[in-house]
Amino acid sequence: MSDSPAAGPPTLRAVRVAGTGSYLPEKVLTNHDLERMVETSDEWIATRTGIRERRVAAEGELTSHMAAKAAEKALEQAGLAPEDVQLIIVGTITPDTITPATACYVQQHLGATRSVAFDVSAACSGFLYALELARHSIATGAFQNALIIGAEKLSAFVNWTDRNTCVLFGDGAGAAVLLPSENGHGKVLSSHLGTDGAQAELLNIPGGGAACPITIDNVDQKLATLAMQGREVFKHAVNAMRRAAEVAIEKAGLTTDDINLVIPHQANLRIIDAIAERLGVGKDRVFVNLDKYGNTSAAAVAIALDEANRSGRLHSGDHLLLVAFGAGLTWASAVIEW
Ligand code: UT7
Protein backbone atom coordinates (compact mmCIF):
# COMPACT_ATOMS: atom_id res chain seq x y z
CA MET A 1 0.00 0.00 0.00
CA SER A 2 1.33 3.42 -0.89
CA ASP A 3 1.90 6.12 1.74
CA SER A 4 0.96 8.87 -0.71
CA PRO A 5 -2.36 10.59 -0.03
CA ALA A 6 -5.37 9.44 -2.03
CA ALA A 7 -5.90 11.48 -5.19
CA GLY A 8 -8.67 13.96 -4.38
CA PRO A 9 -9.85 17.04 -6.17
CA PRO A 10 -6.91 19.33 -7.02
CA THR A 11 -6.26 22.25 -4.67
CA LEU A 12 -7.15 25.42 -6.53
CA ARG A 13 -4.95 28.47 -6.16
CA ALA A 14 -6.46 31.91 -5.64
CA VAL A 15 -5.90 34.27 -8.57
CA ARG A 16 -5.51 38.07 -8.50
CA VAL A 17 -5.54 40.93 -10.99
CA ALA A 18 -1.94 42.16 -10.93
CA GLY A 19 -2.16 44.90 -13.55
CA THR A 20 -4.59 46.65 -15.89
CA GLY A 21 -4.26 48.74 -19.03
CA SER A 22 -6.41 50.35 -21.69
CA TYR A 23 -6.11 52.07 -25.01
CA LEU A 24 -8.53 54.34 -26.83
CA PRO A 25 -7.94 55.58 -30.38
CA GLU A 26 -7.33 59.31 -30.77
CA LYS A 27 -10.20 60.20 -33.09
CA VAL A 28 -13.31 61.42 -31.24
CA LEU A 29 -16.71 61.19 -32.95
CA THR A 30 -19.28 63.31 -31.10
CA ASN A 31 -23.06 63.14 -31.17
CA HIS A 32 -22.96 66.43 -33.09
CA ASP A 33 -20.73 64.79 -35.72
CA LEU A 34 -23.35 62.03 -36.06
CA GLU A 35 -26.10 64.63 -36.56
CA ARG A 36 -24.38 65.39 -39.86
CA MET A 37 -24.30 61.71 -40.87
CA VAL A 38 -27.79 60.34 -40.00
CA GLU A 39 -31.21 61.65 -38.89
CA THR A 40 -30.44 61.93 -35.17
CA SER A 41 -29.74 64.49 -32.46
CA ASP A 42 -27.35 64.91 -29.57
CA GLU A 43 -30.43 65.22 -27.36
CA TRP A 44 -31.87 61.83 -28.47
CA ILE A 45 -28.59 59.97 -28.11
CA ALA A 46 -27.71 61.53 -24.75
CA THR A 47 -31.13 61.03 -23.14
CA ARG A 48 -31.77 57.52 -24.56
CA THR A 49 -28.27 56.14 -24.00
CA GLY A 50 -26.07 58.53 -21.97
CA ILE A 51 -23.47 58.50 -24.76
CA ARG A 52 -21.96 61.85 -25.77
CA GLU A 53 -18.99 60.76 -27.86
CA ARG A 54 -17.07 57.65 -28.89
CA ARG A 55 -13.61 56.84 -30.27
CA VAL A 56 -12.99 55.59 -33.81
CA ALA A 57 -9.83 53.74 -34.81
CA ALA A 58 -7.72 55.02 -37.69
CA GLU A 59 -8.01 53.15 -40.98
CA GLY A 60 -5.02 50.83 -40.53
CA GLU A 61 -5.44 50.58 -36.77
CA LEU A 62 -6.80 47.11 -36.01
CA THR A 63 -8.25 45.33 -32.99
CA SER A 64 -4.91 43.58 -32.39
CA HIS A 65 -3.01 46.91 -32.40
CA MET A 66 -5.33 48.41 -29.77
CA ALA A 67 -5.24 45.17 -27.77
CA ALA A 68 -1.44 45.13 -27.73
CA LYS A 69 -1.26 48.76 -26.59
CA ALA A 70 -3.62 48.06 -23.68
CA ALA A 71 -1.71 44.86 -22.89
CA GLU A 72 1.65 46.65 -22.74
CA LYS A 73 0.32 48.92 -19.99
CA ALA A 74 -1.15 46.02 -18.02
CA LEU A 75 2.09 44.04 -18.29
CA GLU A 76 4.12 47.04 -17.17
CA GLN A 77 1.90 47.55 -14.12
CA ALA A 78 2.11 43.86 -13.25
CA GLY A 79 5.90 43.79 -13.74
CA LEU A 80 5.61 40.92 -16.22
CA ALA A 81 7.82 40.80 -19.31
CA PRO A 82 6.10 39.87 -22.61
CA GLU A 83 8.41 36.88 -23.08
CA ASP A 84 7.23 35.47 -19.74
CA VAL A 85 3.52 35.58 -20.62
CA GLN A 86 2.12 32.05 -20.76
CA LEU A 87 -1.49 32.55 -21.85
CA ILE A 88 -3.19 35.28 -23.93
CA ILE A 89 -6.96 35.29 -24.33
CA VAL A 90 -8.61 38.02 -26.39
CA GLY A 91 -12.35 38.61 -26.14
CA THR A 92 -13.50 40.16 -29.42
CA ILE A 93 -16.23 40.05 -32.06
CA THR A 94 -14.25 42.26 -34.43
CA PRO A 95 -11.15 40.15 -35.13
CA ASP A 96 -8.48 41.36 -37.55
CA THR A 97 -9.15 38.22 -39.64
CA ILE A 98 -11.53 35.26 -39.37
CA THR A 99 -8.46 33.12 -38.81
CA PRO A 100 -5.99 33.16 -37.19
CA ALA A 101 -7.24 34.52 -33.90
CA THR A 102 -6.58 38.15 -33.01
CA ALA A 103 -4.68 36.84 -29.95
CA CYS A 104 -2.05 35.43 -32.35
CA TYR A 105 -1.43 38.90 -33.80
CA VAL A 106 -1.31 40.33 -30.28
CA GLN A 107 1.31 37.73 -29.35
CA GLN A 108 3.32 38.82 -32.38
CA HIS A 109 3.00 42.58 -31.59
CA LEU A 110 4.06 42.02 -27.97
CA GLY A 111 6.84 39.53 -28.67
CA ALA A 112 5.16 37.18 -26.19
CA THR A 113 6.77 34.28 -28.02
CA ARG A 114 6.28 31.64 -25.33
CA SER A 115 2.54 32.11 -24.82
CA VAL A 116 -0.47 30.13 -25.93
CA ALA A 117 -2.92 32.53 -27.59
CA PHE A 118 -6.55 32.27 -28.66
CA ASP A 119 -9.78 34.31 -28.85
CA VAL A 120 -13.15 33.95 -27.17
CA SER A 121 -16.22 35.15 -29.03
CA ALA A 122 -18.78 36.07 -26.39
CA ALA A 123 -19.55 39.63 -27.52
CA CYS A 124 -19.80 42.13 -24.67
CA SER A 125 -19.23 39.35 -22.11
CA GLY A 126 -15.94 38.39 -23.81
CA PHE A 127 -13.58 39.95 -21.27
CA LEU A 128 -15.32 38.26 -18.34
CA TYR A 129 -15.46 34.92 -20.20
CA ALA A 130 -11.68 35.33 -20.72
CA LEU A 131 -11.27 36.12 -17.03
CA GLU A 132 -13.07 32.92 -16.06
CA LEU A 133 -11.05 30.72 -18.45
CA ALA A 134 -7.74 32.28 -17.44
CA ARG A 135 -8.53 32.21 -13.74
CA HIS A 136 -9.18 28.48 -13.81
CA SER A 137 -6.11 27.87 -15.97
CA ILE A 138 -3.96 29.50 -13.29
CA ALA A 139 -5.94 28.11 -10.34
CA THR A 140 -5.29 24.53 -11.46
CA GLY A 141 -1.57 25.21 -11.95
CA ALA A 142 -1.71 24.60 -15.70
CA PHE A 143 -0.45 28.17 -16.33
CA GLN A 144 1.48 30.56 -14.06
CA ASN A 145 0.07 33.78 -15.52
CA ALA A 146 -2.37 35.08 -18.10
CA LEU A 147 -3.00 38.20 -20.13
CA ILE A 148 -6.69 38.76 -20.77
CA ILE A 149 -7.91 41.41 -23.19
CA GLY A 150 -11.20 42.82 -24.44
CA ALA A 151 -10.68 44.66 -27.73
CA GLU A 152 -12.95 45.86 -30.52
CA LYS A 153 -12.89 47.78 -33.77
CA LEU A 154 -16.68 48.01 -33.99
CA SER A 155 -16.47 50.96 -36.39
CA ALA A 156 -15.54 48.43 -39.08
CA PHE A 157 -18.80 46.47 -38.50
CA VAL A 158 -21.28 49.31 -38.05
CA ASN A 159 -23.73 50.38 -40.72
CA TRP A 160 -23.01 54.11 -40.72
CA THR A 161 -26.35 54.81 -42.42
CA ASP A 162 -28.45 53.07 -39.70
CA ARG A 163 -29.24 55.48 -36.86
CA ASN A 164 -30.59 52.63 -34.71
CA THR A 165 -27.08 51.23 -34.25
CA CYS A 166 -24.37 53.59 -35.53
CA VAL A 167 -24.77 56.02 -32.62
CA LEU A 168 -24.15 53.32 -30.02
CA PHE A 169 -20.74 51.78 -30.63
CA GLY A 170 -17.08 52.74 -30.27
CA ASP A 171 -13.58 51.31 -30.58
CA GLY A 172 -11.01 50.55 -27.86
CA ALA A 173 -9.24 47.94 -25.77
CA GLY A 174 -8.68 47.00 -22.15
CA ALA A 175 -6.42 44.37 -20.60
CA ALA A 176 -5.55 42.72 -17.31
CA VAL A 177 -2.75 40.47 -16.09
CA LEU A 178 -3.70 37.61 -13.80
CA LEU A 179 -1.24 35.98 -11.39
CA PRO A 180 -1.54 33.53 -8.51
CA SER A 181 -2.50 35.37 -5.32
CA GLU A 182 0.35 34.86 -2.89
CA ASN A 183 -0.48 36.71 0.30
CA GLY A 184 -4.19 36.00 0.39
CA HIS A 185 -5.06 39.62 -0.45
CA GLY A 186 -6.40 40.47 -3.87
CA LYS A 187 -8.24 37.64 -5.52
CA VAL A 188 -11.15 36.76 -7.75
CA LEU A 189 -13.76 35.53 -5.26
CA SER A 190 -16.47 34.27 -7.59
CA SER A 191 -17.87 34.34 -11.08
CA HIS A 192 -20.90 33.32 -13.06
CA LEU A 193 -21.39 32.83 -16.80
CA GLY A 194 -24.55 32.26 -18.82
CA THR A 195 -25.69 31.86 -22.42
CA ASP A 196 -29.06 31.78 -24.17
CA GLY A 197 -28.49 30.78 -27.80
CA ALA A 198 -32.26 30.73 -28.42
CA GLN A 199 -32.08 34.56 -28.52
CA ALA A 200 -29.19 34.70 -31.00
CA GLU A 201 -31.26 36.64 -33.55
CA LEU A 202 -31.75 39.65 -31.28
CA LEU A 203 -28.23 40.95 -31.79
CA ASN A 204 -25.92 39.71 -34.51
CA ILE A 205 -23.84 40.36 -37.58
CA PRO A 206 -25.90 38.27 -40.03
CA GLY A 207 -23.57 38.30 -43.03
CA GLY A 208 -19.94 37.60 -43.73
CA GLY A 209 -19.90 34.09 -42.24
CA ALA A 210 -20.57 30.74 -43.90
CA ALA A 211 -24.34 31.14 -43.34
CA CYS A 212 -24.54 34.25 -45.44
CA PRO A 213 -21.43 35.11 -47.44
CA ILE A 214 -21.21 38.61 -48.88
CA THR A 215 -21.70 38.38 -52.64
CA ILE A 216 -21.96 40.84 -55.45
CA ASP A 217 -25.77 40.42 -55.27
CA ASN A 218 -26.19 41.25 -51.57
CA VAL A 219 -23.30 43.66 -50.98
CA ASP A 220 -25.65 46.69 -50.93
CA GLN A 221 -27.63 45.23 -48.01
CA LYS A 222 -24.68 45.78 -45.62
CA LEU A 223 -25.25 42.36 -44.02
CA ALA A 224 -21.79 42.25 -42.44
CA THR A 225 -22.80 44.95 -39.94
CA LEU A 226 -24.38 44.89 -36.49
CA ALA A 227 -28.16 44.36 -36.38
CA MET A 228 -30.05 44.69 -33.11
CA GLN A 229 -33.61 44.56 -31.80
CA GLY A 230 -32.81 47.24 -29.23
CA ARG A 231 -35.89 47.16 -27.00
CA GLU A 232 -35.84 43.37 -26.62
CA VAL A 233 -32.10 43.33 -25.91
CA PHE A 234 -32.62 46.08 -23.33
CA LYS A 235 -35.11 43.97 -21.33
CA HIS A 236 -32.92 40.88 -21.41
CA ALA A 237 -29.87 42.95 -20.44
CA VAL A 238 -31.47 44.33 -17.29
CA ASN A 239 -32.80 40.96 -16.12
CA ALA A 240 -29.73 38.89 -16.97
CA MET A 241 -27.20 41.32 -15.51
CA ARG A 242 -29.17 41.72 -12.34
CA ARG A 243 -29.38 37.94 -11.89
CA ALA A 244 -25.71 37.43 -12.78
CA ALA A 245 -24.72 40.08 -10.27
CA GLU A 246 -26.77 38.48 -7.51
CA VAL A 247 -25.34 35.01 -8.20
CA ALA A 248 -21.72 36.20 -8.11
CA ILE A 249 -22.27 38.20 -4.92
CA GLU A 250 -23.92 35.23 -3.23
CA LYS A 251 -21.19 32.81 -4.39
CA ALA A 252 -18.61 35.19 -2.91
CA GLY A 253 -20.40 34.95 0.45
CA LEU A 254 -21.18 38.68 0.36
CA THR A 255 -24.22 40.93 0.18
CA THR A 256 -24.76 43.94 -2.07
CA ASP A 257 -23.80 46.22 0.83
CA ASP A 258 -20.29 44.71 0.75
CA ILE A 259 -19.70 45.80 -2.85
CA ASN A 260 -17.59 48.97 -2.99
CA LEU A 261 -17.81 49.46 -6.76
CA VAL A 262 -19.92 47.99 -9.55
CA ILE A 263 -18.21 48.00 -12.96
CA PRO A 264 -20.98 47.18 -15.44
CA HIS A 265 -20.98 46.75 -19.21
CA GLN A 266 -21.25 50.19 -20.76
CA ALA A 267 -24.10 49.91 -23.29
CA ASN A 268 -26.77 52.28 -22.04
CA LEU A 269 -26.96 54.47 -18.92
CA ARG A 270 -30.64 53.56 -18.51
CA ILE A 271 -29.67 49.86 -18.30
CA ILE A 272 -26.94 50.63 -15.76
CA ASP A 273 -29.31 52.76 -13.66
CA ALA A 274 -32.01 50.05 -13.77
CA ILE A 275 -29.59 47.37 -12.57
CA ALA A 276 -28.19 49.59 -9.81
CA GLU A 277 -31.70 50.39 -8.63
CA ARG A 278 -32.79 46.75 -8.62
CA LEU A 279 -29.63 45.74 -6.74
CA GLY A 280 -30.07 48.64 -4.31
CA VAL A 281 -26.67 50.17 -5.12
CA GLY A 282 -26.33 53.98 -5.10
CA LYS A 283 -24.92 55.78 -8.17
CA ASP A 284 -21.78 56.69 -6.19
CA ARG A 285 -20.90 52.96 -6.22
CA VAL A 286 -21.31 52.48 -9.99
CA PHE A 287 -18.56 53.19 -12.51
CA VAL A 288 -19.71 54.87 -15.73
CA ASN A 289 -17.61 56.03 -18.68
CA LEU A 290 -19.94 55.30 -21.61
CA ASP A 291 -20.47 59.04 -22.09
CA LYS A 292 -16.88 59.18 -23.48
CA TYR A 293 -16.58 55.86 -25.31
CA GLY A 294 -20.05 54.48 -26.14
CA ASN A 295 -20.48 50.71 -26.21
CA THR A 296 -17.10 49.07 -26.90
CA SER A 297 -18.49 45.52 -26.46
CA ALA A 298 -15.83 43.17 -25.02
CA ALA A 299 -13.54 46.11 -24.26
CA ALA A 300 -16.03 48.02 -22.12
CA VAL A 301 -15.63 46.32 -18.72
CA ALA A 302 -11.87 46.03 -19.26
CA ILE A 303 -11.46 49.74 -20.05
CA ALA A 304 -13.69 50.69 -17.11
CA LEU A 305 -11.69 48.45 -14.74
CA ASP A 306 -8.45 50.10 -15.85
CA GLU A 307 -9.87 53.62 -15.52
CA ALA A 308 -11.21 52.85 -12.06
CA ASN A 309 -7.82 51.40 -11.11
CA ARG A 310 -5.70 54.23 -12.48
CA SER A 311 -7.96 56.98 -11.15
CA GLY A 312 -7.41 55.75 -7.59
CA ARG A 313 -10.98 54.51 -7.04
CA LEU A 314 -9.85 51.01 -6.08
CA HIS A 315 -8.35 50.33 -2.66
CA SER A 316 -6.78 47.19 -1.28
CA GLY A 317 -9.50 44.93 0.12
CA ASP A 318 -12.32 46.60 -1.87
CA HIS A 319 -14.97 44.32 -3.33
CA LEU A 320 -15.66 44.93 -7.03
CA LEU A 321 -18.58 43.54 -8.99
CA LEU A 322 -17.94 43.21 -12.73
CA VAL A 323 -21.00 42.39 -14.82
CA ALA A 324 -21.62 42.21 -18.57
CA PHE A 325 -24.21 41.23 -21.15
CA GLY A 326 -24.14 40.89 -24.91
CA ALA A 327 -24.93 39.07 -28.14
CA GLY A 328 -25.45 35.34 -27.91
CA LEU A 329 -27.15 36.14 -25.69
CA THR A 330 -24.32 35.93 -23.17
CA TRP A 331 -23.87 37.31 -19.68
CA ALA A 332 -21.13 37.13 -17.08
CA SER A 333 -20.22 38.46 -13.66
CA ALA A 334 -17.32 38.31 -11.24
CA VAL A 335 -16.63 39.54 -7.73
CA ILE A 336 -13.03 40.56 -7.10
CA GLU A 337 -11.36 41.42 -3.81
CA TRP A 338 -8.87 44.08 -4.88
O1 UT7 B 1 -23.95 45.70 -25.77
C2 UT7 B 1 -24.82 44.65 -26.02
C3 UT7 B 1 -26.11 44.90 -25.43
N4 UT7 B 1 -26.77 46.00 -26.07
C5 UT7 B 1 -27.62 46.71 -25.34
O6 UT7 B 1 -27.73 46.46 -24.19
C7 UT7 B 1 -28.45 47.74 -26.04
C8 UT7 B 1 -29.88 47.63 -25.53
N9 UT7 B 1 -30.81 48.55 -26.14
C10 UT7 B 1 -30.75 49.90 -25.98
O11 UT7 B 1 -29.85 50.42 -25.36
C12 UT7 B 1 -31.89 50.73 -26.53
O13 UT7 B 1 -32.95 49.89 -26.91
C14 UT7 B 1 -31.48 51.62 -27.74
C15 UT7 B 1 -30.58 52.74 -27.28
C16 UT7 B 1 -30.81 50.78 -28.79
C17 UT7 B 1 -32.73 52.28 -28.36
O18 UT7 B 1 -33.44 53.01 -27.38
P19 UT7 B 1 -35.01 52.82 -27.20
O20 UT7 B 1 -35.45 53.76 -26.18
O21 UT7 B 1 -35.26 51.35 -26.97
O22 UT7 B 1 -35.55 53.30 -28.60
P23 UT7 B 1 -36.38 52.48 -29.69
O24 UT7 B 1 -35.49 51.52 -30.42
O25 UT7 B 1 -37.61 51.95 -29.07
O26 UT7 B 1 -36.76 53.65 -30.68
C27 UT7 B 1 -37.59 54.74 -30.26
C28 UT7 B 1 -37.69 55.74 -31.39
C29 UT7 B 1 -38.04 55.09 -32.73
O30 UT7 B 1 -38.89 55.96 -33.43
P31 UT7 B 1 -40.48 55.70 -33.42
O32 UT7 B 1 -40.66 54.33 -34.01
O33 UT7 B 1 -40.91 55.77 -31.98
O34 UT7 B 1 -40.99 56.81 -34.28
C35 UT7 B 1 -36.72 55.03 -33.44
O36 UT7 B 1 -36.84 55.06 -34.83
O37 UT7 B 1 -36.43 56.38 -31.57
C38 UT7 B 1 -36.05 56.29 -32.94
N39 UT7 B 1 -34.60 56.25 -33.00
C40 UT7 B 1 -33.82 57.34 -33.09
N41 UT7 B 1 -34.14 58.65 -33.15
C42 UT7 B 1 -33.11 59.51 -33.23
C43 UT7 B 1 -33.79 55.15 -32.97
N44 UT7 B 1 -32.52 55.54 -33.05
C45 UT7 B 1 -32.51 56.88 -33.13
C46 UT7 B 1 -31.49 57.84 -33.22
N47 UT7 B 1 -31.84 59.14 -33.26
N48 UT7 B 1 -30.19 57.51 -33.24
Q: Kindly list the structural domains of the chain, giving each domain's residue range(s) and its CATH number in brackets, ordered by start.
A: 15-184 (3.40.47.10), 187-337 (3.40.47.10)
Q: Whose CA is nearest to atom 43 of ligand 1?
A: 164
Q: How far is the CA of 160 from the centre of ligand 1 (A)?
A: 15
Report the atom number in ligand 1 closest to the C-alpha of 270.
Answer: 11
Establish whether residue 234 lines the binding site of ligand 1, counting it when its CB lies within 6 angstroms of any ligand atom: yes
Model-level pTM greater than 0.85? yes
| Whole-angstrom distance, CA of residue 280 vs CA of residue 276 | 6
pLDDT of residue 7: 63
> Does residue 300 contact residue 91 with C-beta atoms inside 8 Å?
no
Q: What is the pLDDT of residues 9-65, one digit of tens each?
A: 668 999 999 999 999 999 999 999 999 999 999 999 999 999 999 999 999 999 999
Residue 268 in contact with ligand 1 by CB distance below 6 A: yes
CA separation (Å) from 56 to 110, 177, 230, 259?
23, 25, 22, 33
Which residue's CA lies nearest to atom 35 of ligand 1?
Answer: 164
At residue 66's C-alpha, the angle toward residues 158 and 59, to 5°, is 50
Burial of 239 (0-12, 13-18, 19+ CB in 10 A): middle
Tell me how far apart the alpha carbons of residues 192 and 44 are, in angstroms, rounded to a whole number: 34
Protein residue with its CA nearest to atom 44 in ligand 1:
164
Q: Counting atoms of ligand 1 from 1, which one is nearest the CA of 297?
A: 1
The answer to whether residues 198 and 92 touch, using CB atoms and an 8 Å cutoff, is no
Report how far residue 78's alpha carbon sits from residue 81's, in angstroms, rounded to the nearest whole number.
9
85-95: average pLDDT: 98
**Ligand 1 site, residue 296, Cβ cutoff 6 A:** no
Q: Which of 42, 229, 231, 275 to mutate to test the pocket of ligand 1 (most atoms within 8 A of CB)?
A: 231
The answer to whether the CB of 231 is under 6 A from ligand 1 is yes
| Confidence tier at 189 by pLDDT (50, 70, 90) | very high
Percent of the chain with pLDDT over 70: 97
- What local confidence, expressed as pLDDT, does residue 2 receive? 42
- Using a 6 Å cutoff on CB, does residue 295 contact ligand 1? yes
Tens digits of per-residue pLDDT, 202-252? 999 999 999 999 999 999 999 999 999 999 999 999 999 999 999 999 999
